[in-house]
Structure 1
Amino acid sequence: MALLPLLLLLLLRLVASAPASSPATALFVLGDSTASCAATTLPLNVSFTSSGPCLFPSGRRLLPDLLAAKMGLPPPPLVSTLNGTAVEAAKGVNFAEAEEGARGMIFRMGAVGQQLRLATETLQQLRLEAATPQDADSAAAGAVFVLSFGTDAYARLLARGPEADASAPKHGRRGFGRLLADRVARTVAELYEAGARRTVVMGVAPLGCAPRVMWEGLHLVDGRSCVDEANELVQGYNARLAAQLEALRPRLPGADIVFCDIYKAMMEMITHPARYGFDEARKACCGLGPFGGTIGCFTKEMVCPTPQRHVWWDLYSATEAASSLVANWSWSAHSSVCQPINLETLTGHTSFSY
């Protein structure tokens, strides 16, 4: 009889850790520079070349690349590198690329729409080339969609100069956040109509602590705190987006929609850097001026000797070390970064630990 409580406990642990669905077989990514450095429209965040690829392709991996690795998949290739066949797209695609003439524009709803169109066309192609309708359904159900919008938009909104003033003339800064959250939520619903059933939406990091915003708000901070107004705007957007997704769930039967609170994860590192192996939570690893926020990263010689000890890579984006922590916390059942379920459960790649 002494074994019975132990057996019951073991059974409960197995049930709790069982995957909610079959393992995901593909990763599709939509977003801005947080999803692909080829998608950035920030002229000051020089982490790319005019032809698109990262300036330092081996310097750091972005969050979608790290999540792909956890799923046992390679980083999804940029859509522009594929030949348009379903076979190539079967393992996933990164749709996040800047359009011609996109640099210098804050956030164009058309950019989201273009990526959505490419994603739905890819799903249609997978269905058309599937051997049976069941295979088509399995291909759609086996895909995980990651949406990561907002960072570039808020980076421009928080910048100095006429671009920031002209970014949301009709709606104001807070109204702009509502507009953006509504558009991202509609994108989730439209992907569902196209067959997507597993979707992850990333919130925006605390840009009030980012090197560029810290430099521009130098008169507001003492080098230890962050720019509160900027963080309040981002938090408002994240809250609106999370609420929109919560309202969507009962309207989309069979869908798993997860919101990942990147703000919460990054603030934990920024508030307690030493706890996570960081020496520097304010200054960029690659950049010049106060906080490394005056001039962005454009030569290898500008890179700090220990990027793994920095939270911020450049003006607005995290180092791979920080992104790796976010990926781990997003994946883990012991973290509340992603809700209502963690990404390990969402993707069906659950592992048992005793």
Structure 2
Amino acid sequence: MELTIRAFPFFFFILFQYAESQSSIPKFTAILVFGDSTVDTGNNNYIPTIFRANHPPYGLDYTNGIATGRFSDGQLVPDVLAQLLGLKQKGGVPPYLRPNISDAELRSGVSFASAGSGYDDLTATLSGAISMRKQMEYLKEYIGRVKKSVGEREGERIVKGGLVIVSGGSNDFVLNFYDVPTRRLEFSIGKYQDFLLEKLQSFVKELYDVGCRKIIVSGLPPIGCLPIQLTAKSPVLRKCVEKENSDAQSYNAKLQHMLAALQETLPGSKVLYADTYTPLLDLINNPQENGFVETKKGCCGSGLVEVGPLCNSNSHVCTNPSEYIYFDSIHLTESAYLQVAEYLIKDLLRKLSDDESR
């Protein structure tokens, strides 16, 4: 992973701010990532699904303008964190078993995430993505390979000292509840939230059982402000769907409570909630203060519905993606991801650092 030229000023500002004191940045042995398209660095390139971003104009602001499979014009939040922490991450599905990826590269970080995935197994079934259950299986394979490479004790140290990021949930609500009412036929919104949180709790417990100790779990963004949701629910006024945003907030409140309670049952763990709702809603409500111009449509195509295969080399692309919050009708631009990353770095890495110093 290399940074785009446009990202350098912002990135080095972060480095300067947080590296003045080496103790302010926790030391991690690896970065392990699970979830959906918000953190998928290209795993879907290798599976039979239409949820792919390995074609232009995705990646136009990434190194050499390469479409890597990231659903953005450039980097994602884990990319920024990995750079800051001096780590690298590779895709973690079967490609990580390829002989051209060295054990040394794998030891420093792996993304197992898959665009279209969710905590509900049905979500991945509908999208053809790698389910969270399967991502866990790949993690166990990964741990086995690392231990075979460096030995049992060192392998355990790498896993225990790794930073784990889990980001998901949006697809469950959009694909299974709001736009395709599969789960709405059997669950109220509150019951479906609880159903997903039970799945997520089991996933975090299993992460702990295989040796992970520092885990960050992302909450939901303001789903009702996604351009594709505006197109479906407010095509003329293009106002955020308040009911969906309210649902996201209530889910996030439950998630925070669940994670705090869960940490108490997992000795030696640090399980943190990542608030992505607040910084993203701030960008949407105060675009000019944050350097943005367009908040209601994506940079790709009309910006109203294009995502994945509909955002392609034939699509019109805005002249300056950094002025847009969304690159397609669902996913953020690199500029927006960088600002969310700054918020998370200030909020979360400091908490992990404080925990280490105790």
Relative to the length of structure 1, the TM-score reads: 0.77
Q: Deviations over 1:31-86 (max 9, x none)?
A: 11111164679x9976346xxx7467882111211211111123433433222675
Matched, 1:127 2:131: no
Percent identity, aligned pairs only?
26
Matched, 1:253 2:267: yes
Counterpart CA distance in 2 for 1:260 and 1:343 is: 11
- Give the conservation status (yes or no) of the 8 Å contact 1:31–1:95: yes
RMSD of aligned residue pairs (Cα, Å): 3.4
Task: Kindly state the Cα deviation for residue 125 of structure 1 after the two structures are TM-superposed.
Answer: 3.5
Task: Kindly state the Cα deviation for residue 98 of structure 1 after the two structures are TM-superposed.
Answer: 6.0
Q: 1:147 aligns with which of 154, 166, 171?
A: 166
- Give the conservation status (yes or no) of the 8 Å contact 1:34–1:151: no
Q: 2:106 aligns with which of 72, 81, 89?
A: 89
Paired residues in the alignment total: 312
Q: 1:181 aligns with which of 174, 194, 197?
A: 197
Task: Kindly state the Cα deviation for residue 25 of structure 1 after the two structures are TM-superposed.
Answer: 2.1
Secondary structure of 1:259 counterpart: strand
Query: 2:27 maps to what in 1?
Result: 23
Query: 2:306 maps to what in 1?
Result: 295
Query: 1:5 maps to what in 2?
Result: none
Matched, 1:329 2:343: yes
- Give the conservation status (yes or no) of the 8 Å contact 2:116–2:129: no
Task: Kindly state the Cα deviation for residue 173 of structure 1 after the two structures are TM-superposed.
Answer: 3.1
Letter in 2 for 1:295: E
Counterpart CA distance in 2 for 1:109 and 1:298 is: 20
- Give the conservation status (yes or no) of the 8 Å contact 1:95–1:119: yes
Secondary structure of 1:253 counterpart: coil
Task: Kindly state the Cα deviation for residue 246 of structure 1 after the two structures are TM-superposed.
Answer: 0.8
Counterpart CA distance in 2 for 1:146 and 1:251 is: 19
Cα distance, 1:190–1:276 mapped onto 2, change above 3 Å: same
Task: Kindly state the Cα deviation for residue 285 of structure 1 after the two structures are TM-superposed.
Answer: 1.1
Which has the larger displacement, 24-33 or 137-146? 137-146
- Give the conservation status (yes or no) of the 8 Å contact 2:26–2:352: no
Secondary structure of 1:257 counterpart: strand
- Give the conservation status (yes or no) of the 8 Å contact 1:55–1:298: no
Counterpart CA distance in 1 for 2:51 and 2:329 is: 6
Q: Deviations over 1:303-328 (max 9, x none)?
A: 21111011111111111111101111
Matched, 1:307 2:325: no
Letter in 1 for 2:170: T
Query: 1:196 maps to what in 2?
Result: 212
Query: 1:346 maps to what in 2?
Result: 352
Secondary structure of 2:237 counterpart: coil
Cα distance, 1:255–1:92 mapped onto 2, change above 3 Å: same
Letter in 2 for 1:127: K
Secondary structure of 2:31 counterpart: strand
Counterpart CA distance in 2 for 1:320 and 1:300 is: 21
Counterpart CA distance in 2 for 1:293 and 1:275 is: 24
Letter in 2 for 1:146: I
Q: Which structure has the bigger radius of gyration? A: 1
